[in-house]
Amino acid sequence: MPDTARQPDPAEQLRERIRDELAHAGLQPVPIAVSLGKARDFLTDFLNGRKKKLDADFLGELAQRLGYASTDHFKRGQREGAENPAAADLAALKEANVVRLGSATPYTPMTAPVVPPMRDVTRRIPVVGDVEAGVWRETVARDAHDIDDYLALDVQGYEQADLKAYRVSGPSMNRVYVQGRFVVVAHPAQAGLRSGDHVVIERWRGSMTEVTLKEFVQEQDGRIALWPRSDHPDFQEPFHLKAQDEADQDGLTIIGVVVADYGRRDRPTIAYNPAGR
């Protein structure tokens, strides 16, 4: 008697696998697609069923970005125990007509960065103040009409986010950001929050606001640590966020997640004179 049970759709199985893995890693489809050199909606269209297939190369890169040795390990959910981590077995997905033919070779990481095409910069990101990469720094929030400095900078994957910029001051993050560099931040509700993110933290002292910049780390015991990343001896220890049921901690709030950084160079004021005069 023939088996009339409905066979699972390979494309939908792949969609579910990708959705689950992105959710587990705390990633969104638009930024991950852009980071892998594709258009913003490349992965979203597949997950929503508007695109029927994925490129084999893209799927291999996505698998490795999500911590799998190959596409075959990714579809099986096998992170460990691979005998040949370099081999990306695409046969099953190609046979199911889910992955387009075009690359029968194993995926290998790129040895040179992809240079995106030049395009006009359309975004003006307001510089809302300085952030102390060290001790807390008093600051007064600037209203829109008080802002006199902007960064002409596009941040791929965050085109719809409300972005702000801060100028870094102090040495506690100098392994990452030298003093005077700008960090561009998005609100955690728009960017998400992951262990290893660099964050701007705010607290209230009376009527004044203080802000600082640190690395957000979730420790094995579940506590949240805010770490400096510095070669300065005064900045080698973290401070910890208190649990919600602990005593008040001056309204400590993460107000920004760093999604880009930018530096300007002050050029010499005297023009070059080829005659040496």
Superfamily of domain 124-262: Umud Fragment, subunit A (2.10.109.10)
Tokens coding 252:
């400590």
Q: Which CATH architecture has domain 10-100?
A: Orthogonal Bundle (1.10)
Instruction: Kindly report, residue by residue over 155-205, the tens digit of the pLDDT.
Output: 888 888 889 999 998 888 989 998 899 999 999 888 888 888 999 988 776
Whether the full predicted model's pTM is greater than 0.85, yes or no, is no
Which residues make up the CATH 1.10.260 domain(s) of the chain? 10-100
DSSP 63: H
In the structure encoding, which two tokens stand for residue 47, read together? 């997950």
* DSSP helix/strand/coil, 85: coil
User: For residue 127, which amino acid is it?
Assistant: V
Q: SS3 for 261?
A: strand
117-165 pLDDT, tens digit each: 555 667 889 998 888 765 555 444 444 446 778 998 888 888 888 899 9
Q: Which residue has the tokens 């992170």?
A: 79
pLDDT of residue 106: 37
Return the percent helix, strand and coil in the chain, to nearest 5.
Answer: 20, 25, 55
| Planar angle of CA 214, 216, 222, nearest 5 degrees | 140
Residue ranges, comma separated, of all CATH 2.10.109.10 domains in the chain are 124-262
pLDDT in tens, 67-116: 777 777 777 777 654 443 333 344 454 455 554 444 333 334 444 444 55
What φ, ψ does residue 250 adopt, rounded to 5°? 60, 35
Beta carbons within 8 Å of 154's beta carbon, 6+ residues apart: 119, 121, 122, 123
